[in-house]
Amino acid sequence: MQTGDAALEVKLAGAWRLRGGLPSASLLERELDGAPRIKSVAFDTKELESWDSSVLAFLVDISALCRQRGIQMDTAGLPSGLHRLLNLAEAVPEKKGARKESVATPFLQRVGNTAIGAGSSLAEMLAFLGDMTLTFFRLWRMKVRFRAVDLFLFIQQAGVEALPIVSLISFLVGVILAFVGAVQLKQFGAQIYVADLVGIAMVREMGAMMTGIIMAGRTGAAFAAQLGTMKVTQEIDAFTTMGFSPLEFLVLPRVLALVLMMPLLCLYSDIVGVLGGAAIGVGMLDLSWTTYLRETTNAISLTDVFGGVFKASVYGVLIALSGCLRGLQCGNSSSAVGDAATSAVVTGIVAIVLACGVFAVVFYVLGI
Amino acid sequence: MGEANGTDHRPHITVSHLTMAYGSFVLMRDLNFTIHHGDVFIIMGGSGCGKSTLLRHLIGLKEPAQGNIYYGDENFTRADPAKRQEMVRRMGVLFQSGALWSSMTLAENVGLSLGEYTDLSPAEIRDVASLKLALVGLKGFEDYYPSQISGGMQKRAGLARAMALDPEILFFDEPSAGLDPISSRLLDDLILELRDSLGATVVVVTHELASIFTIGNNSVFLDTETRTMSAGGDPKELLAHSPNPTVRRFLTRGGEEKI
């Protein structure tokens, strides 16, 4: 950098690369502060070997500095490419109001906004439930339209294709319950009651609950992703504009498929869970298969089985509705589809656990 | 065929004092224009000015913040749901990305509304679907899924679906977006051909100048700066005589001189 009488010449030399970091114009600023008589800034680039955007960023800073101080900037010494880029960068003045204001929202305002958001999302959910109820009434009067082939496809996806994972989880839950019971009951020599424990727990609660959670993660998320993608690609709009209700055409077959398949999956899960318990009973507690299974059948009643299966179909409705609701609420981007799937699983599991609590109270009151 | 064929001067769609808004954010205010029977009507304007939103209002996917939309003499905005369903059934829409239902074959896509709103047998539906696909040059692709064909073909299949019920009005959202110049020219020709042969009214959202001048005989220009329409009429007339500099700049790709 050389200072003449009223002119400052900046010498740019060597290789300028973004990788090396952005140079700061503060050195120049100090120079200008020290010499208030300077009226123009010029550039000497004879020794500049190569350059990229780093030089441009530096020049834009200098140009802003010069404008601030009313100094002239002489760009004649710059390579023509740089000269043009600099003109381009400054051709369009900053649009007023385009810059996002990063004002920190006060805490109370954020609380308020969240509350308003929660209120409107609750209203949306209620509207969806209301519409779905009307759709179910139309289903009752046989006035709904959807493709039967869709229903069978969803039944296959939510039924047969879920069997392997339901088998694995249920068997292991049976095993875990048996272990928990075995350790305690062995102290009293009452190992045989492991069969009661596993049987009652699986049939009354765990069968329905585990199937519900598996299906929320598997099928609920899939429903949300399918509907979310259809929203993004305007397929749902296409249904609406052709006079098809998305609720009838898309949501209803999904709900029906889960309502039909969840009880069956739950029953299957009960059986596999009992087998898991029996594996421990026979393998570790020296019980015979017959003894274990007879004890199980004595312990559980048909009411227990129906109670569990009924819960499972309710969970099915909850999973399908939360999956479809989140899918239909999806925004217009690929990341929104991911959010919809996540939110569907969370909503589904929360709904299952809440319903499970309600059932516990109701069953207790009814003496089931 | 001649220049103004099919166009007569009965109003088909009338937009009156329409204000479009997202929540409290007003996108466009006080839009007034009339689309006549047989028009190829262009909705034009810069990116993000609300062209597609206007289209969504016209087909009932979004409710006006203010104002009314009339089809013929019937008020579309204030119609009850059943009436509205019936009015919507007379429209065909080609969405920007085609929006074919990905879980159905092309024939099923085209045939779905036929099965719903006509008494045709499944075999007849398939015949009609094949015919519509043939009209857009997709004969033989009946059993393909949308993901198995190219973007241009998806758009044409979307057009076949939009035409399934022989609609009185066809809406196109950016028909040439994502198409190469030749495909987009072919689509333009197809649009004109269909207008002439079916006698339908066509509404096109686009910012492709070539399309605007080739097919349009009436238009509305949405201006982002003023947040309302700043011109309307035949695009060629607008190019020649519009007093509005923004419109002229748009129609000449930013240059003031005529093409």
A174 and A265 together in one domain: yes
Question: What end-to-end distance do the CA atoms of chain B give, in Å?
Answer: 25
A241 to chain B: closest CA residue: B88
Compute the average pLDDT of residues B123-148. 90
What does residue A196 show for φ and ψ, rounded to 5 degrees?
Answer: -60, -50
Distance from CA of B116 to the nearest CA of A (A): 8
Chain A residues with CB under 8 Å of B102 CB are 230, 233, 235
pTM to 2 decimal places: 0.79
Evaluate whether B116 touches A244 at the Cβ level (below 8 Å): yes
B157–chain A Cβ distance below 8 A for any pair: no
Q: What is the pLDDT of residues A178-204, one digit of tens each?
A: 999 998 888 888 889 999 999 999 999
Chain A residues with CB under 8 Å of B97 CB are 233-234
B84 to chain A: closest CA residue: A243
A208 and A301 together in one domain: yes
A19 and A143 together in one domain: no
A235 to chain B: closest CA residue: B99
Distance from CA of A246 to the nearest CA of B (A): 12
**CA–CA separation, A200 vs A150, rounded Å?**
36
Q: What is the pLDDT of residues A69-116, one digit of tens each?
A: 888 888 777 888 888 888 888 777 666 666 666 677 889 999 998 999
Range of the domain at A85: 2-91
A233–chain B Cβ distance below 8 A for any pair: yes
| Domain ranges, ordered by start, for chain B | 9-90+201-253
**CA–CA separation, B93 vs B202, rounded Å?**
10
Pairing assessment for the beta strands B91-94 and B74-75 based on DSSP bridges: unpaired
What pLDDT, on the 0 to 100 scale, is given for residue A17? 78
CB contact under 8 A, B99 and A238: yes
Report the residue from B89, B97, B112 with minimal CB separation from A233. Answer: B97
Q: Examine residue A240 and state whether it is found in any structural domain, yes or no.
A: yes
B1 has pLDDT over 50:
no
Chain A residues with CB under 8 Å of B61 CB are 237, 240-241
B96 to chain A: closest CA residue: A234
Last residue of a domain, one of A57, A91, A125: A91
Q: What is the pLDDT of residues A289-306, one digit of tens each?
A: 999 999 999 999 999 999
Report the residue from B61, B96, B102 with minimal CB separation from A235. Answer: B102
A229 band by pLDDT with thresholds 50, 70 and 90: very high
Distance from CA of B173 to the nearest CA of A (A): 11
A245 and A309 together in one domain: yes
Flag the least confident range among A170-174, A190-194, A274-278, B223-227.
B223-227
Distance from CA of B3 to the nearest CA of A (A): 31
What pLDDT, on the 0 to 100 scale, is given for residue A361? 95
Over its C-alpha atoms, chain B yields an Rg (Å, rounded) of 18
Q: Examine residue A6 and state whether it is found in any structural domain, yes or no.
A: yes
Strands (E), chain A: 2-3, 7-11, 14-15, 40-44, 48-50, 72-74
Q: Examine residue A109 and state whether it is found in any structural domain, yes or no.
A: no
A188 and A304 together in one domain: yes
A76 and A182 together in one domain: no
What pLDDT, on the 0 to 100 scale, is given for residue A336? 92
What pLDDT, on the 0 to 100 scale, is given for residue A96? 62
Interface test with A, best of B102, B109, B125, B163 (most A CBs within 10 A): B102
* A239 Cβ neighbours under 8 A, 6+ residues apart: A245, A246, A249, A250, B101
What pLDDT, on the 0 to 100 scale, is given for residue B3? 41
A267 band by pLDDT with thresholds 50, 70 and 90: very high
What pLDDT, on the 0 to 100 scale, is given for residue A279? 94
Q: Examine residue A96 and state whether it is found in any structural domain, yes or no.
A: no
Q: What is the mean pLDDT of chain A?
A: 88
A116–chain B Cβ distance below 8 A for any pair: no
B60–chain A Cβ distance below 8 A for any pair: yes
Q: Which amino acid is at B149?
A: I
A87 and A208 together in one domain: no
The residue that leads in pLDDT, A333 or A311, is A311
Tell me how many residue pairs between chain A and chain B have CB atoms under 8 A apart.
Answer: 49
CB contact under 8 A, A241 and B112: no
B85–chain A Cβ distance below 8 A for any pair: yes
Chain B residues with CB under 8 Å of A227 CB are none
DSSP bridge partners of A42: A9, A74
Among residues A319, A70, A326, the alpha carbon closest in space to that of A212 is found at: A319
A234–chain B Cβ distance below 8 A for any pair: yes
Q: Examine residue A115 and state whether it is found in any structural domain, yes or no.
A: no
What pLDDT, on the 0 to 100 scale, is given for residue A5? 62
A241–chain B Cβ distance below 8 A for any pair: yes
**CA–CA separation, B65 vs A248, rounded Å?**
28
B258 has pLDDT over 60:
no
Q: Which two tokens stand for residue B65?
A: 């913040």
What one-character DSSP code corresponds to residue B27? E
A266 and A338 together in one domain: yes
**CA–CA separation, A21 vs A259, rounded Å?**
60
Interface test with B, best of A135, A229, A231, A242 (most B CBs within 10 A): A242
Q: How many other C-beta atoms are found inside a 10 Å radius of the C-beta of residue A184?
A: 12
A residues 121-150 closer than 8 Å to B (CB)? 145, 150
Chain B residues with CB under 8 Å of A235 CB are 99-102
Residues in chain A: 368
What pLDDT, on the 0 to 100 scale, is given for residue A257? 95
**CA–CA separation, A151 vs A253, rounded Å?**
5
B97–chain A Cβ distance below 8 A for any pair: yes
Compute the average pLDDT of residues B152-163. 88
Residue with tokens 């605007």: B212
Q: Examine residue A125 and state whether it is found in any structural domain, yes or no.
A: no
Distance from CA of B237 to the nearest CA of A (A): 31
A243 to chain B: closest CA residue: B85
B5 band by pLDDT with thresholds 50, 70 and 90: very low
CB contact under 8 A, A243 and B116: yes
**CA–CA separation, B215 vs A23, rounded Å?**
54
Distance from CA of B211 to the nearest CA of A (A): 23
CB contact under 8 A, A234 and B101: no
Evaluate whether B164 touches B111 at the Cβ level (below 8 Å): yes
A23 and A152 together in one domain: no
In chain A, the number of structural domains is 2
A214 and A307 together in one domain: yes
The residue that leads in pLDDT, A39 or B117, is B117
Query: What percentage of chain A exceeds 90 in pLDDT?
Result: 55
What does residue A65 show for φ and ψ, rounded to 5 degrees?
Answer: -60, -50
Chain A residues with CB under 8 Å of B91 CB are 241
What pLDDT, on the 0 to 100 scale, is given for residue A101? 63
List the CATH number of the domain containing A53.
3.30.750.24
Strand (E) or helix (H) holding B135: helix B122-135
Flag the least confident range among A247-251, B21-25, B67-71.
B21-25
Chain B residues with CB under 8 Å of A240 CB are 60-61
> Looking at the domain covering B9-90+201-253, what would its CATH class be?
alpha beta
Q: What is the mean pLDDT of chain B?
A: 85
Q: What is the pLDDT of residues A38-62, one digit of tens each?
A: 778 888 887 888 878 878 888 888 8
Q: Examine residue A191 and state whether it is found in any structural domain, yes or no.
A: yes
